[in-house]
Structure 1
Amino acid sequence: MSDDARSAFAAEFDVSRETLARLDRYAELLAEWQQRMNLVAPSTLPHIWDRHFRDSAQLLAIAGTGQRWLDIGAGGGFPGLVLAILDPTARFTLVESITKKCRFLTEVATETGTIDRVTIANQRVETLKPAPYDIITARAAAALDVLLDWSVRFGRPGTRWVLPKGRNVQEELATAAKRFHFDHQLIPSRTDSDARIVLATNLRPFGVKRR
């Protein structure tokens, strides 16, 4: 089943043999480190190609082109490290407050040859120095309104927020709309029929004029 999922991933995203080898190494490291810490739900480990790699990779086409990505609450590296492996032209900042998870992220980035384009920030996003990003993402890090609150200061005209969400996405959008102006699209997830990916633009808090 894992080989079938790997082959299906390669075909769906048209990835090279070298890129597949990097993802193979990522999968090996995740299995090793998972024995020492909880990086992903244990039940998802046998399904890494679909549940984690494919779930992350689908964001590339949705996000469009962008040179600077911010991944909030990077955890086991999804989606940020997968996207760094798939897009060799972009730079990624992965924010993760748990030090031992940052050690894992550093090892994966080193072993997959992405360390020169990946910055791993071992801190809470609230303390991260403001800087403009083209694309901001986060996977299961917080409710939508909280994510927007954390990340609005990293936006600029043209910034896109690409945020995977579950079946409660409409409620999260309604809550966020009480605090922020933003345009958005809802895109069905390729890996979960109940999930949607929020593509948000033109974000600004109430009381702030459009730039």
Structure 2
Amino acid sequence: MDTYAALLIEWQERMNLVARSTLDIVWERHFADSAQLSDLVTESDATWLDLGSGAGFPALVLALFQSGKFHLVEATAKKCRFLSEVVERLDLSNRVTIHNCRIEALPKIRASIITARACASLSQLFDWGMPHARDARWLLLKGKTAADEVEAARAMFTFDCGLIASRTDPQARIVDAQRVRRRQ
């Protein structure tokens, strides 16, 4: 984690990976926020799909705590260069694949767990992830509007869902969804 934090700070000088205001609280704001998902997963050897990976949160943090294969999807090439550097330095290249493309162009991945953080609305995440979901569990870090996003998503999708209080932000929630299907 120290190596990851150092790389994040170093690369942040060259590109916008996270909000500058969060660099002093990187452990709480980014690492702990991402790591809290690890306690929710008991499945070993899962196939993870992280949408809009950005600086690697939550997927790269989770790859340090969980077994399985991780697929990180990020459309911005320079962010993918950062992700590749982190993967190489943390010796995760045998379990982490970086996909430099838009999610719509991603070849089908049969994911059992789909994650995202600060990427898009719940409806949009479901839309992007559906082609890759294999009876997937969706663990999505959301802010204070999580309940509103769940209600909005129900107009287009059916799903079972729980909202779990975040350990790092009293207003944030983790959307834990399963059996996501498009409404007919």
Query: Which residue of 60, 74, 87 corresponds with 1:96?
Result: 74
Query: Which residue of 165, 174, 178 corresponds with 2:142?
Result: 165
What stretches of structure 1 of length at least 5 have no aligned partner? 1-22
Name 1:186's counterpart in structure 2. Answer: 163
SS in 2 for 1:152: helix
Name 1:49's counterpart in structure 2. Answer: 27
SS in 1 for 2:24: helix
Tell me how far 1:64 sits from its aligned partner.
3.1
Query: Which residue of 95, 101, 118 corresponds with 1:140?
Result: 118
Name 2:176's counterpart in structure 1. Answer: 199
RMSD: 0.9
Query: Which residue of 129, 132, 152 corresponds with 1:154?
Result: 132
Query: Which residue of 68, 81, 102 corresponds with 2:60?
Result: 81
Tell me how far 1:63 sits from its aligned partner.
3.3
Mean Cα displacement is larger for which, 61-70 or 146-155? 61-70
Q: With structure 2 as the length reference, what TM-score do the two structures score?
A: 0.97
Q: Decide which structure has the larger Cα Rg and report it.
A: 1
Name 2:100's counterpart in structure 1. Answer: 122
Q: Is the 8 A contact 1:63 1:162 kept in 2?
A: no
Tell me how far 1:75 sits from its aligned partner.
0.3
Q: Is the 8 A contact 1:39 1:75 kept in 2?
A: yes
Tell me how far 1:62 sits from its aligned partner.
1.8
Query: Which residue of 52, 60, 63 corresponds with 2:38?
Result: 60
Mean Cα displacement is larger for which, 127-136 or 95-104? 127-136
SS in 1 for 2:140: strand
SS in 2 for 1:137: strand
**Is residue 3 of structure 2 the alignment partner of residue 25 of structure 1?**
yes
The number of residues matched between the two structures is: 183
Please state which structure has a larger fraction of its residues in strand.
2
Q: Is the 8 A contact 1:63 1:135 kept in 2?
A: no
Please state which structure has a larger fraction of its residues in helix.
1
Identity %: 50
Instruction: Specify the code of the residue in structure 1 equivalent to 2:150.
Output: L
SS in 1 for 2:111: coil
| Residues 83-119 of structure 1: per-residue CA shift (max 9 Å, x gap) | 11122x2110000000000000000000011111100
| Residues 170-209 of structure 1: per-residue CA shift (max 9 Å, x gap) | 21111100000100011000000000000000010012xx
Q: 2-side partners of 1:60 and 1:33: how far apart?
A: 26
